[in-house]
Amino acid sequence: MLLPLNQLDLLLLLSLPLPAEFTAWFSRQGWSLRAYQQDMLNRGETEQSTLLIAPTGAGKTLSGFLPSLVDLQHETAEYLHTLYISPLKALTQDIHRNLLRPIEEMALPITVETRTGDTPSHKRQRQRKRPPHILLTTPESLMLMLSYTDAPKIFGKLKTVIIDEVHSLIGNKRGDFTTLALARIESLAPGFKRIGLSATVAKPKLVADWLGPTGEPAALLEVEDTAKPAINILRSEQRMPFGGFMAKYAIGDIYQAIAKAATTLVFVNTRAQAELLFQLLWSENALVLPIALYHGSLSKEQRRKTEEMMASGKLRAIVTTSALELGIDWGDVDLVIQVGAPKGVSRLLQRIGRA
């Protein structure tokens, strides 16, 4: 089922009212509930699975969680209500930070935790005994949890599964893991609702078929992208060597672009390239700008420190890999630089969307 936005006004005539504390919180942020967010709230009352395709920065993630937050606003029992699956550990941390803000500001009795390879063992054990209302995890950690003998107890009351950046899990091994995990969860919590979120889906119907239960494709809700990115090619006055050498010839130009912007993400394709470009930028860093490095091989402590510094506006630039290309919501990023050709158009679109 495809529901264009120009039909949503009719649906809003029968829309569920947003609870007063949520309305007040939206007002304090200077926000108003968007039409498709209201639609997602309405669908929260049904068991229908939904694939939401919306541009980056449009409140897509909040839309996915809003029905769960409303449903849990007066909850006192301890059980796993909503499971969030992310392709990246960094994204689970970012979503955790963003979810805690409305929960704490509205004083909601909702617990939110992450479960990834970085989670300490004592916390994992406690989550098995007393799971949070909302658990943020990755496909690999989810498969491990489903192998536990007490998995029926952990997942037995599950109501909703949210799969973020769902396009990245189609047609690969991690997607196969997720498919098997969803089938296992269906046997433990029959009838749970599935919500898929993405900004870049080439074949929506194919993804909707994959997301929904067998023989029941998820409903499609597509939001038109009206904001067009400003894309330019950085032209260096320096001579380009035949081999390229990771844009070493243009480091001065890249550094000047960083210096002129408020906050910049510099994307490369591999961890080795990230290390090299980071060193080259620091050799050019006459202004001693706070420039950081981020990729999956760094220690958990270093990654968390970089995430916190970026979220608080203490960094001018991060040199990174695909580890930060999906869904990371740092609103102050105003420049994205792609060094070298990305491994696919969808990856470039995701990276552009970080600004």
Task: Report, as an integer, the average pLDDT of 64-83.
Answer: 93
**What token pair was written down for 134?**
């909302």
The answer to whether the CB of 8 falls within 8 A of the CB of 24 is no
The answer to whether the CB of 339 falls within 8 A of the CB of 246 is yes
pLDDT in tens, 296-327: 888 888 888 988 888 888 999 999 988 777 65
Of the pLDDT bands very low, low, confident and very high (cuts 50, 70, 90), residue 219 is: very high
Residue with the bigger pLDDT between 4 and 19: it is 19
Task: Report, as an integer, the average pLDDT of 112-133.
Answer: 94
Of the pLDDT bands very low, low, confident and very high (cuts 50, 70, 90), residue 111 is: very high
Task: Report, as an integer, the average pLDDT of 192-211.
Answer: 91
Which pLDDT value is given to residue 331?
58
- Is residue 332 pLDDT above 80, yes or no? no
Of the pLDDT bands very low, low, confident and very high (cuts 50, 70, 90), residue 45 is: confident
Which pLDDT value is given to residue 10?
46
CA nearest neighbour of 105 among 33, 173, 22: 22
CA nearest neighbour of 88 among 266, 296, 344, 332: 296
- Is residue 242 pLDDT above 80, yes or no? no
DSSP codes joined into one string, 213-228: STT-PPEEEE----PP
SS (H, E, C) 75-130: CCCCCCCEEEECCCHHHHHHHHHHHHHHHHHCCCCCCEEEECCCCCHHHHHHHHHC
Task: Report, as an integer, the average pLDDT of 148-166.
Answer: 95
Which pLDDT value is given to residue 229?
76
| DSSP label at residue 2 | B
- Is residue 13 pLDDT above 60, yes or no? no
- Is residue 278 pLDDT above 90, yes or no? yes
C-alpha dihedral (78, 120, 295, 228), degrees to nearest 10? 10
- Is residue 249 pLDDT above 90, yes or no? no
Chain-centre distance for alpha carbon 198? 9
Averaged pLDDT of the chain: 87
Residue with the bigger pLDDT between 335 and 136: it is 136
Domain ranges of the chain: 5-222, 245-352
Which pLDDT value is given to residue 18?
87
Residue type, 270: T
DSSP codes joined into one string, 286-331: TT---EEEE-TTS-HHHHHHHHHHHHTT--SEEEE-GGGSSS---T
CA nearest neighbour of 220 among 9, 39, 17, 38: 39
The position carrying tokens 């220690």 is: 299
- CATH fold, domain 245-352, is Rossmann fold (3.40.50)
- Is residue 355 pLDDT above 80, yes or no? no
What superfamily does domain 5-222 belong to in CATH? P-loop containing nucleotide triphosphate hydrolases (3.40.50.300)
Residue with the bigger pLDDT between 353 and 52: it is 52
Residue with the bigger pLDDT between 14 and 328: it is 328
CA angle 165, 45, 6 (to 5 degrees): 65
Pairing assessment for the beta strands 160-163 and 264-267 based on DSSP bridges: unpaired
Q: Give the C-alpha distances (Å, rounded to integers) separating 134 from 8, 11, 46, 130, 293.
A: 29, 28, 19, 12, 30
Gap between the Cα atoms of 37 and 59, Å rounded? 8
For the entire predicted model, the pTM comes to 0.77
